[in-house]
Amino acid sequence: MVRLAAPLCDRLCVGIDLHKDTLTAAVLDPRTGEVAYRKLACKCRGQIAEYFQALPRPHAVAIESVGFYRWLWDLLEPIVDELHLADAARCRALAAARPKTDRQDALNVADLLAAGRLPIAYAPPMHVRELRDWTRHRNGLSRSHARVLTRVQSLMDANNRPGPRRAKADALIRYLQAHHTLLPERHVRMLWLAVDQLTVIERQTADAERVIAGLIAHERFAAIDALLRSVPGVGPITSATAIAEIGDFTRFTDRKQITRYAGLNPRTFDSADKQRTGRIAKAGPRQLRWVLQQAAWCARRDHPIFRKRFGQLSRRVGKPKAGVAIARKLLLCMWAVVRDGQPYRPIADAAMN
């Protein structure tokens, strides 16, 4: 379900087409139909602020939701009367046959805003964005750690050695000290370089996790964090990432909406009277899908209901697809516990009804 802005006939409507270096603003007066355009350099923040502060009031401003909109949102939020984040893909779909130019894109946003047809994207508040930045930073470090471990394992495989039991820098140090004579000198040097990388990554990961723990302990997040962590497989990082990437769970009114947002819904292809489903859409935040996959492996290992369900699915569709199905189920459980304000109950499918 797409949320639309209310019609605005009594105020100026400003649409912004934003690029890395420039922005184009189309100022539409719905009462007269007059349009004025202004192109500004993004590096001139003071000039941009002066321009929008000088706009006649009342006015409403809409920014297309490109990946780098946040600096402009933070700049304009305190100085404009009304600020919206427009869904760029849906705005373009509603543009019909208009040519794609900066002016036309900005005017399209302003027209849709004035007509009450502007599809609104979710703009997370500052405290959610801060948590999002830290969780993305921490999860990126975790993936870097995994890549280094993959290289370590490839070196061990090349020498037909089992390697250390623990996937940590200190374990690799102890292994090299005890078994370096069993490996070629060049591989020993490479493994010591891997120790350096793992040590730095692990220290930075621990620092990021301490910051995340401090943020998630705030009263804004504490209650929802407790609910999410009652779901099997959901630990502090999964909970924090879900809060950061989803933001307001209550904006989703049914299970289809939140699975589409996360990109865990299967793509559907229709032709005449035939219909088939394909791979998952992957249309939402990949950070959310990544942590849900990690949580899914923990849940199927530690919880009997999820372990049984994973076994049933893996025999039918294979382990990768079964893992995706468990991740989707965990997402629905997380949404349900927040919706109901009640911790997870270990009753099969109770949280999804």
Q: Which residue has the tokens 């292994």?
A: 175
3-state SS assignment for residue 62: strand
In a domain, 261, yes or no: yes
* In a shared domain, residues 235 and 345: yes
Residue 274 above 80 pLDDT? no
Q: What is the pLDDT of residue 348?
A: 46
* In a shared domain, residues 146 and 206: yes
Q: Taking the CB of residue 178, how many other CB atoms lie within 10 A of it?
A: 10
∠ CA 322-323-327, nearest 5°, is: 115
In a domain, 341, yes or no: yes
In a domain, 7, yes or no: no
pLDDT > 70 fraction of the chain, expressed in percent and rounded: 92
DSSP 11: S
Q: What is the pLDDT of residue 282?
A: 84
* In a shared domain, residues 273 and 207: no
* In a shared domain, residues 284 and 337: yes
* In a shared domain, residues 334 and 227: yes
Q: What is the pLDDT of residue 36?
A: 96
Residue 352 above 50 pLDDT? no
Q: What is the pLDDT of residue 99?
A: 80
In a domain, 146, yes or no: yes
* In a shared domain, residues 136 and 67: no
In a domain, 2, yes or no: no
Question: Which of 94, 115, 136 is the last residue in one of the domains?
Answer: 115
pLDDT tens readout for residues 281-338: 788 899 999 999 999 999 999 899 999 999 999 999 999 999 999 999 999 999 999 9
Q: Which long-range contacts (CB under 8 A, 24 or more apart) does 66-73 make?
A: 66/18, 66/19, 68/18, 68/20, 69/18, 70/129, 72/16, 72/18, 72/23, 72/42, 72/48, 73/123
What is the spatial distance between Cα 42 and Cα 121, in angstroms, rounded to a whole number? 22
* In a shared domain, residues 66 and 84: yes
* In a shared domain, residues 75 and 142: no
Could you tell me which residue, 350 or 308, shows the higher pLDDT?
Answer: 308
Q: What is the pLDDT of residue 5?
A: 64
pLDDT tens readout for residues 248-269: 999 999 999 999 999 998 887 6
In a domain, 5, yes or no: no
Range of the domain at 211: 126-216
Nearest CA to 16 out of 128, 94, 118, 125 is that of: 118
* In a shared domain, residues 102 and 151: no
Q: Which residues contact 174 (CB under 8 A, 6 or more apart)?
A: 164
Q: How many domains does the chain have?
A: 3
Q: Taking the CB of residue 229, how many other CB atoms lie within 10 A of it?
A: 19
Question: Which of 115, 134, 160 is the last residue in one of the domains?
Answer: 115
User: CATH number of the domain that 37 lies in?
Assistant: 3.30.420.40
Question: Which of 95, 115, 135 is the last residue in one of the domains?
Answer: 115
Q: What is the pLDDT of residue 351?
A: 42
Q: Which residue has the tokens 């032709």?
A: 271
DSSP 33: -
* In a shared domain, residues 136 and 167: yes
pLDDT tier, 190 (very low <50, low <70, confident <90, very high otherwise): very high
* In a shared domain, residues 226 and 194: no
Strands (E), the chain: 12-18, 22-28, 35-41, 59-64, 83-86, 266-271, 274-280
pLDDT tier, 272 (very low <50, low <70, confident <90, very high otherwise): low
| 339 alpha carbon, distance to own chain's centre | 20
In a domain, 182, yes or no: yes
* In a shared domain, residues 228 and 185: no
Query: How far apart are the two ends of the chain, measured CA to CA in Å?
Result: 20
pLDDT tens readout for residues 72-125: 999 999 999 999 999 988 888 887 667 889 999 999 999 999 988 999 999 999
In a domain, 120, yes or no: no
pLDDT tier, 353 (very low <50, low <70, confident <90, very high otherwise): very low
pTM: 0.87
Mean pLDDT, range 166-175, rounded to an integer: 94
Q: Which residues contact 348 (CB under 8 A, 6 or more apart)?
A: 305
